Amino acid sequence: MKKFFFLYLLVLSPLLFSQNSYHLSLKEIITPPIRTTVSYSAFIDNDLAVVNTKPFSINNSFWLKNPNKLNRVNSEVDFSSLLLIEQLELLNKQSLFQIQHNPTLERYIRVFLKDRRESLSKLMDKSIYYFPIFEKYLDKYDLPLEIKYLAIVESALQPDAISPSGAKGLWQFMYNTGKEYNLDVNSYIDDRFDPLKSTEAACQYLSKLYKTFNDWDLALAAYNSGPTNVKKAITRSGGKTNYWEIRKYLPEETRGYLPAFYATYYIFEYAETHKLTSQKSDLSYIEIDTIHIKNELSFSSIQKHIPIKRELLKSLNPQYKKELIPFSNNEKYVLTLPAALVSHFVINEKSIYNSMSLSIKTFESSAIIKVNKNNSHIVQNGENLNSIAKKYKISLDQLKKWNGLQTDFLIEGQRLVITNKKQDKDDGEMISLK
């Protein structure tokens, strides 16, 4: 997949991402795009009746500095290469992966330990919530549990991570690959952001890649750059099938992908040795629960009756792009909440749904404008809401409100109100397009 590998390696490189290689500007590295990055150290304040959260960020970036600088490490190290070799040998004995010491892997480990200790601790904090999810599905598909560390390399455990190439979620699926593994994407929902569905899809894809190459190193390389690039590297190497022997024939970002994965695996397994500790998140996966939705719901309607901050609500339900949970007789949509708040929802369920219904009615009655030939635009082939809004110098929000639009879908020939100014008298009718 062409993904966020260096979401991770941006908390350590502006190069090296998965599914597709891409580069970030210095400005993007210093000030990354705002994302929902809330840790799960939440608690209920009985006096304020809110759930508080601590903001989470990874040093204004994601995971690595330029990999070309990996050899610039401090010569005064806290542990010897001999000790590292011994520790890696022990990991190799208990793993299905081929973990062998080499200078490249040692450089990655030393850089991570030297320059990203605080970030590693925060990732350990987030892993308390996410790792049980990963392990559940890895076990279901009989995959090595160590693969849970791959999500750190992919997305730095940010469920709403988006790469410049369009890969999304914890496992950085591109649109077409996501569709291939039943990850739905529409105006309201993007399953690539769903921790459960995307993890299962990643397991399915990794299972397929392992069956193709019968080697976990090559399977992970293929997850990053695609199986075609791995097959080409094997051919160019003269038929060799060892990752380290074909590494120089792989795309640039994939050359650092496996060392980053092994370095992360090692550091998490030997965290105590290096005096790395998590900050102990107050909310773990076993402390959340899901509720099947019986009708359309907005986050704002939920917040009116449930003591939870929006940041936490969004972090637990990142798949709902518009902060709106749709309803369908053919699909089951769920709301994820801290288990301690499920009873609040059940007690206030009727009021929550009534509040949502009232807000929709109020919106429809107050915002929609009668359409007539003088205040409207006929949608042409190839147009979209953004282009129409720009054409008439109005905001996208105004265009949607005036026309009662709940989605971004348009039909050629559809007439849209493009002004709220009074026009010449002309009979029209109230419209509500959905």
Per-residue confidence in pLDDT tens, the chain, 434 aa: 644 444 445 444 322 333 332 222 222 222 233 333 333 233 222 322 333 333 333 322 334 434 444 433 343 345 799 999 999 999 999 999 989 999 999 999 999 999 888 899 999 999 999 999 999 999 999 999 999 999 999 999 999 999 988 999 999 999 999 999 999 998 889 999 999 999 999 999 999 999 999 999 999 999 999 999 999 999 999 999 999 999 999 999 899 999 999 999 999 999 999 999 887 666 678 789 999 999 889 998 999 999 999 889 999 999 999 899 988 888 889 999 999 999 999 999 999 988 775 554 444 444 577 888 889 999 998 889 989 999 999 988 888 888 888 777 788 889 999 988 765 444 444 443 33
Residue 358 contacts by C-beta under 8 Å, 6 or more apart in sequence? none
Q: Which amino acid is at 73?
A: V
CATH fold for the domain made of 8-269: Lysozyme (1.10.530)
Q: Give the SS3 label for residue 190.
A: strand
Q: Which amino acid is at 369?
A: I
**Interatomic CA distance for residues 16 and 36, integer angstroms:** 23
381 burial via Cβ count (<10 Å: 0-12, 13-18, 19+):
exposed
Q: In terms of Cα–Cα distance, which of 182, 164, 115, 124 is closest to 148? A: 124
Percent of residues in the chain assigned helix, strand, coil, to nearest 5: 45, 10, 45
Residue keyed to tokens 């809330």: 38
The string of pLDDT tens digits covering residues 29-61 is 222 333 333 332 332 223 223 333 333 333 223
**Interatomic CA distance for residues 9 and 58, integer angstroms:** 11
Structure tokens at 112: 């991570």
Q: In terms of Cα–Cα distance, which of 203, 271, 278 is closest to 40? A: 278
Structure tokens at 412: 């050629």
Q: Which helix (H) or strand (E) holds 106?
A: helix 103-115
Structure tokens at 336: 């994820």
Q: In terms of Cα–Cα distance, which of 258, 13, 227, 265 is closest to 120? A: 265
Instruction: Please state which architecture CATH assigns to domain 368-417.
Output: Roll (3.10)
The string of pLDDT tens digits covering residues 154-211 is 999 999 999 988 999 999 999 999 999 999 998 889 999 999 999 999 999 999 999 9
Domain coordinates in residue numbering, the chain = 8-269, 287-366, 368-417
**Interatomic CA distance for residues 405 and 397, integer angstroms:** 10
**Interatomic CA distance for residues 46 and 129, integer angstroms:** 24
**Whether 173 contacts 181, CB under 8 Å:** yes
